[in-house]
Structure 1
Amino acid sequence: MARSALTITAATFTATAALLLTACGGGGDDSAPDDIEGAGAGASSSAPSASASSSTPPGVERPVIKLPGSFQLTFEDWTSSDAQQQAVLNDAKEELRAGYAAIIANDPDSAAVAFYDTDSGRSQSKKWIKSYTDKNVTVIGKLPVFDPRVTVLDGGTTASLGYCTDESEAYTKHRKTGKVEGNPADMDPEVYYLVTLRKSSQGVWQNASVRSERGECAK
């Protein structure tokens, strides 16, 4: 369930970042399940119900991200006392939510994902989303996102974000057959991600690239 790895070539980034099944963050307490509305059994194959994130920052109008109850994406300690770092965390969270919402809605061309990605980031995200939709599978279960660590660079225009995910209770489900699959028993369920973000002219922190390493989360 891991997000496709992309080698980061920018010399300024020394930290490292991956997403769900075959698919990380650090700061305050935001461990409640992410905006979940109604989708019961079988809802993973249909468009998710609407609910805006409670942590969506003010300013430019952000898209409403939708997730069903069949997939619980939680963000643990996803806060910072630094306002700039918090802005990075807020937008990175919404990009991740948008990506999974696109997988569940079977929508590789999601406008919400495009809003939170640069052109290069959008290309990588679409490839990741299609790795599910091309196989006619969706995602179900629970995916905690935790231990975020943010560094803001280049005078506040670039940032790196490292975080971890735990895929122990995250699964893929085939839309037609209903077959559910998880990671092999001998595979480390924790994946470390390093995300490079750029601040847009509108002040939105957009994903430029994502790199992942399974089993590299700090203990």
Structure 2
Amino acid sequence: MTRRRPALLAALTLTAAAALTLSACGGDDSSSDEKDKIAGADTGDKPSASPSPSESRGGDRPEITFPSDAKNVFEGEKTGDAKKDAVLAANALSVNAVDEAIFKGSTGTKALGFYNADKALSSSITYVQGYIDDNDTWIGVTRYFNRKATLKGDDKAYVTYCSDESKSYIKNKKSGKVDKSAATADSYVLYNTALTKNAAGVWQTTDIASKRGDEACQP
């Protein structure tokens, strides 16, 4: 099976008002049965330089480290708009921070609460704790594509994107068993996220919704 478990979809939900806001920006909310295309999302993006999981982004920003057998690849990092690029980079760091917490088996990692806040942080903690309770981790490569940033003023933004989990797999830490069941439509997930720039100038993911198997993300 691909590495994301159904519990993620239950954990990562938006309030009705936030979901409508994201939907207006071209994405779906997790409670909708509609499978509309992401408005304005590019297709066929080539991978560009993405934040290294081990890269420290200066100042007091925490370092994020991955094991050698796991990797996230982010496409569409450079848009030509510096502000949008900063938001997309923050989105990648938010995702990496959640996965680092899974690898370390801890919901108290510095990066998790640095790049995530509010509902997104509480949902991420619940998601990571599910891995911890089952003594699981994941290996392989997860690809993030069709990433689109929408700015709202100087300190608000939204990012819609897809994930391809067809080459990443759940591994049990105790037994070492890796579940490599064949990929399905559910290996592809549509995400809508809201970000806010905090007082320290850090873009944090504050809300997130996901829809597994969405047509907008299918190959």
Give the Cα separation in 2 of the matches to 1:133 and 1:202: 31
1:16 and 2:28 matched:
yes
Give distance in 2, aligned partners of 1:183 and 1:32: 30
Q: Cα gap change, 1:141/1:182 in structure 2, threshold over 3 Å: closer, same or farther?
A: same
Describe the shift of the 1:185–1:142 C-alpha distance in structure 2 as closer, same or farther (beyond 3 A): closer
1:207 corresponds to:
205
Tell me the matched-pair count: 195
Listed as ranges, the gaps of 5+ residues in structure 2 are 31-37
1:82-106 deviation digits (Å, cap 9, x = unpaired): 1111111111111111111110111
**Residue in structure 1 matched with residue 91 of structure 2 by the alignment:** 92
| Distance (whole Å) between structure 1 residues aligned to residue 119 and residue 145 of structure 2 | 25
Tell me if 1:73 matches 2:82: no
1:56-205 mapped onto 2 (5 Å cutoff): 56=57, 60-153=59-152, 155-182=153-180, 185-205=183-203
More displaced 10-residue stretch of structure 1: 208-217 or 134-143: 208-217
2:11 maps to 1:7? no
Q: Take 1:108 and 1:26, find their aligned partners in 2: how far apart are those partners?
A: 34
Structure 2 CA distance for partners of 1:203 and 1:33, relative to 1, 3 Å: closer
Matched residue type, 1:157? D
Partners of 1:182 and 1:7 in 2: CA distance: 31
**Cα 1:95/1:32, change in 2 over 3 Å:** same
CA contact (8 A) 1:17 1:162 kept: no
1: CA distance, partners of 2:119 / 2:50: 30
Q: Counterpart in 2 of 1:40? A: none
1:75: how far off?
0.8
Give, in whole Å, the separation in 2 of the partners of 1:7 and 1:175. Answer: 31
1:120 CA displacement: 2.5
TM-score normalised according to structure 1 size: 0.78
- 3-state SS of 1:211 partner: strand
Secondary structure at the counterpart of residue 188 of structure 1: helix
1:215, CA displacement in angstroms? 2.0
Shift of 1:211: 0.6
- Kindly indicate which of the two structures has a greater share of residues assigned to helix: 2
Q: CA RMSD in A?
A: 2.7
Quote how far apart the aligned CAs of 1:33 are: 7.9
Task: Give the Cα separation in 2 of the matches to 1:13 and 1:193.
Answer: 10
Contact 1:17/1:163 (8 A) holds in 2: no
2:162–2:191 CA contact under 8 A, matched in 1 = yes
Aligned partners of 2:116 and 2:50: how far apart in 1?
A: 24
User: Structure 1: 5+ residue runs without aligned partners?
Assistant: 19-23, 37-50
Is the CA contact 2:22–2:29 (under 8 Å) kept in the aligned structure 1?
A: no
Q: 1:12 corresponds to which letter in structure 2? A: T
Amino acid at match of 1:91: A
